[in-house]
Every structure is written in C-alpha cells, then in structure tokens.
Chain A
Amino acid sequence: QKEVEQNSGPLSVPEGAIASLNCTYSDRGSQSFFWYRQYSGKSPELIMSIYSNGDKEDGRFTAQLNKASQYVSLLIRDSQPSDSATYLCAVMVNNNDMRFGAGTRLTVKP
C-alpha cells in the first residue's frame, strides 16, 4: 500500500464549479497534511496546510481532514481556468519526512 494515495485523474470541471480532490494516507500517526499545486513545467507550491480534524478555509480553497478515516480532501470553489494544474497531497510521516501522493491533474474548462 502506498503511503499517500490520490486519484490520478484527470479531473475536469467547468469554470465556476467546485473541484473536489481526495487523498488517503496509511500512517495513522501522521500529524501534518499539505496540499501543493504544480503547474506544468514548474515546481510544487504550497497552497494549504491542515493539522486538526475538520475544515480549514483560505479564500476559494477548503481543506478537510478526517484522521479516523485517514482522509484529506481539497475543495476549490468557483474554479477558474488558472486553477488547472496538478494537485499534490503531502503527509508529514514524522518531523522531517514528507511523502507525496502521485497527484491529481485538474482541468478547468472555460
């Protein structure tokens, strides 16, 4: 079982819709969770972090964490074509070891 699993997609949504990205992880002791966005040909950039069960909102982005289910998600509201990218889920498996999922490619169609 992979440490961090994501649906590879591609996920396609129309402009203005909600994009939902999902991630599961295997290490029950993980405490820190992150979402990175990676545009084609660029390096990953951090967009959200979450540490406690529940929701965390930042602008159009909402991260959701359920430690009992070992599940993390990212919702993007009012999706824009500029949101088209690969989204990487990352889990800190100990204080200095971050593991990434394979990424979900999102396309937002105008």
Chain B
Amino acid sequence: KAGVTQTPRYLIKTRGQQVTLSCSPISGHRSVSWYQQTPGQGLQFLFEYFSETQRNKGNFPGRFSGRQFSNSRSEMNVSTLELGDSALYLCASSPPLPNYGYTFGSGTRLTVV
C-alpha cells in the first residue's frame, strides 16, 4: 500500500516568488492536512481538506493557500515568499475515522534565499 507522497522533496526559491507543493494521500484517505515545521516553532497547523473543502485553517497569513482535487490529491501554495517561510512542509492523510491518527509524507524542504 503506497504511503503519502509529497513532491518535490526539496525546493530553493527566491524571496518574492511563489511555490506550489503537492501531496497525494494514501488510497482511500479523503482528509489531507498540511503542517509547517521549523526548529523554533515545531509543527504548526496550516489547513485541512476533506472532499475538496477546507474544513479548518490555522493562523497563517493569506499568502498560504491550498486546495484539494476530486481524487483527494492536495496542493498548497505560498505566494510572495519570505525568508521566514523556509521550513519543512509536511502533509498528512487520515482515513474516514481520523481518530486512527495521521500518516505523514516525507515532506518538502523549502529554502527561501
């Protein structure tokens, strides 16, 4: 059974650019959550999607956005990149009963220079 797939694994972008990250959940998982992980702040919740609808959103500026497609694949976009956006971006998927916990992808390491 394939796990959660995130692409790309690594990205280097320049301040002011925008970036799109992709996440394919485990087959049958319809919920996808996105987190930002930095050494100082730990895992910070960005947003969660279920059946193409954003159900929850964390405390991030509007530069951070996402969407989910009908096949449950999800993308997140960060516009007007800032140096502080450098982080590991993790996607997690969960089964219809989320109390079983999340499965994380390997993450996308974004570096903004």
Contacts and interface: CB of A to CB of B under 8 A. Distances in A.
Contacts of B92: 98
Contact of B98 (A45, A95, A102): A95
Interface string B94-112: 1000111111111100000
A49 B33 CA distance: 18
Contacts, number: 58
Interface string A35-59: 0000000111110010100000000
A17 to B, nearest CB: 26
A49 B107 contact: no
List the 10 shortest-distance A-B pairs measured between CB atoms, nearest first.
A102-B42, A100-B43, A43-B104, A46-B101, A32-B99, A97-B56, A34-B101, A44-B104, A43-B107, A96-B55
| Interface size grouping (class) on chain B | 20 to 34
Nearest to A49: B101
B46 to A, nearest CB: 11
B45 A98 contact: yes
